[in-house]
Amino acid sequence: MSSQEEGDDTLDELLKDRARIEELPDNDEDEEGGPPFPGKHLKSKPKKDLPAWMSSATLSLFHEDEQTPSTEVLAKTAAECPPYLTLEDTQGLPLNSHGLPHLRRNPHAEFLRSCLGDLPAPYAAMDASRPWLFYWCIAGQSFLGEDVSSYKDRLIETVRPLQNPGGGFGGGHGQYSHCACTYATILALTAVDGLEVVDRKAMWHWLGQVKQSNGGFRMAANAEQDIRGAYCALTILTLLNLPLTLPPDSPARLAGGLQTFTDGLGAWIATCQSYEGGIAGAPGNEVHGAYAFCALACLCILDAPYRSIPAYLDVPLLTRWLASMQTTPEGGFAGRPNKLVDACYSHWVGACFALLEAARPLEETQQHPAVLARKGGEGQGLWNKAALVRYLLTCAQQPGKKGGMRDKPSARPDGYHTCYSLSGLSAAQHRYWYDERSGTRGEEEEEEEESGGRLLSAFNWRGERGTAEEMRDLGVDEEDVVELVHPVFVLRFEAVEGARKRFAGGGV
């Protein structure tokens, strides 16, 4: 036998002995101290026994040593929430029969009441946002079932000086009228049945000044144009039942030849949807969860959602984008990709799903409401309602005597997050659907809508409290359940119905 043949035999024996699968040591390093096994940073790190939705379904694409300020903050947030989510730390909060913290109804209501009183000096920065404080605190209390009618006289006298002779409301005394501040003022007044203070004719003329020839709306005269302006303007027009015909001096009529407030609006909203599926504030800008709500709600005011939403938006793409905003391990929502969970998006994103549900073909949405929106517990439906409820009850509630709800455990409570956390809780706990057969509108209103004089679609929404079985699946007791919140106007249904009846006759 030649030396070459002997070498081949030796090699064959060596390969035979070594050609087997070997487990890597726990540290993923070579036995001789070599470099880490390729892809080590992609491996999921060992976790405690957590619900499936608390574990990420995707692997990190970045090496753990390659960190940025954004990834560091994401990691910090992901680390601070699990002790509360798993109830290792209940923060001293009383627990319900399912082991989750109770909704702190009374402390939250007291916190919102306190925000309508004397405020500390740092709140001077909120001077231009006074109407928002009114809305967050009054609407938030109503979501908890509180009677807010006692605020009526006080609110009317407070907002009266904010109303400008040319129409609309400013954020503070002597400030220009602004769509956002006017929207918040109208919602707050609607909540207490105090809309008689509004100069509707001046409001109609002012809204004509912010309507643009391309179909959209500015936030104020000569200010930026974005989707917020469109939603705010249509909400104001609808709740006050203002004429849809543009005033004679409207720039949109003079420069663009438009005739009504709704002309070109749907087409303009369509340009705000990006290739990702989300909605931007304006064409070409970054998409954001709150803008998605504004777009969907605006289209729901414009017409029946099963007609308006599919006509102007790529619904499957938007649905996918919104569903991807629910974060792990927290279970709440973020407003943009790769951003932090924030309790306010419980509303801005969570409330979108009822609107999307109504965008389905008419024959599907006309079933009994008990058939619709039934899913959504752990691992069911487009979004995980149980995960959101757990996040809000365990991470978003302020412990101690103060009350209020917060962005995340490391943040302070405020009226904004309290209001929208409660609205998001309502979106998770109850079912909402669009029903043209409701029969609550009078003949005069029907004729007015047919003649193009009033937008009535948004008044066709209905809600139904979740069943005992659904509440059990969500992990809540009766005292943890909030009120039904209108999915378009973000007010109690009773308040919205009051506005509809008040201005049923139309005119200015």
Active site residue 336: yes
Which residue matches tokens 């409401």? Answer: 369
* DSSP label at residue 13: H
Cβ neighbours for 317, distance < 8 A, ≥ 6 positions apart: 273, 276, 277
Distance of CA 419 to the CA centre of its chain: 11
**CA distances from residue 107 to 127, 394, 410 in whole angstroms, order as listed:** 26, 15, 19
Give the C-alpha separation, 116 to 124, whole Å.
14
CB 385 within 8 A of CB 346: no
Which residue is catalytic, options 218, 294, 312, 342? 342
Active site residue 454: no
Q: Residue 379 corresponds to which tokens in the numbers above?
A: 């691992």
Active site residue 344: yes
Which residue is catalytic, options 414, 419, 434, 454? 414
Which residue is catalytic, options 226, 407, 473, 480? 407
Active site residue 414: yes
Which residue is catalytic, options 417, 430, 431, 492? 417
Q: Residue 71 corresponds to which tokens in the numbers above?
A: 């990834």
Q: What angle do CA 29, 33, 34 make, to 5 degrees?
A: 70
Active site residue 345: yes
Q: List residues bridging with 217 in a β-sheet.
A: 211
Which residue is catalytic, options 179, 272, 344, 352? 344
Which residue is catalytic, options 102, 105, 307, 336? 336
Q: Which amino acid is at 166?
A: G
CB 104 within 8 A of CB 128: no
- H helices then E strands: how many in the chain? 22, 2
Side-chain-facing half-sphere of 153: CA atoms under 13 Å: 1
Which residue is catalytic, options 291, 312, 345, 391? 345
**CA distances from residue 280 to 29, 269, 287, 436 in whole angstroms, order as listed:** 46, 9, 4, 30
Give the total residue count for the chain: 508
- Surface-to-core class of residue 89, CB atoms within 10 Å of its CB (0-12 exposed, 13-18 middle, 19+ buried): middle
Active site residue 41: no
CB 493 within 8 A of CB 486: yes
Which residue is catalytic, options 339, 390, 406, 500? 339
Which residue is catalytic, options 200, 218, 253, 288? 288
Q: What secondary structure, in 3-state letters, does 221-253 show?
A: CCCCECHHHHHHHHHHHHHCCCCCECCCCCHHH
Active site residue 12: no
Give the C-alpha separation, 264 to 417, whole Å.
34
Tell me which residues are annotated as active site. 288, 336, 339, 342, 344-345, 407, 414, 417
